[in-house]
Chains A and B, each alone.
Chain A
Amino acid sequence: MTTGPARSIDHLRRKLLMLSALVEESARRSVLAMRGKDKLAAGAVVRSDAEIDTLEIAIEEDCVALLAQPPLRLEDTRVIVAFLKINTDLERIGDLAGNIARHVEDLSVHEQALLPADLLRMADAALAMLRRALDSFVEADVSMARAVCAGDDEVDALNREMYQLVQQRIMENPAMTGRLLNVLGIARHLERIADCATNIAEVVVYIDSGSIIRHGRNPLPPESAP
Chain B
Amino acid sequence: MRTRLVEQARDGDDVAFSELVDLEGDLCYAIAYRILRDVERAQDAVQQAFLLAWRDLPRLRDPERFGPWLRRLLVNACYEEVRRHRRWSTRIRRLPVDEPSGPDPILSIDDRDALDRAFGRLTPEHRAVFVLHHHTGFSLADIADIVGVPIGTVKSRLHYATRILRAAIVADSQVDSTEARLA
Do A and B pair up? The answer is: no
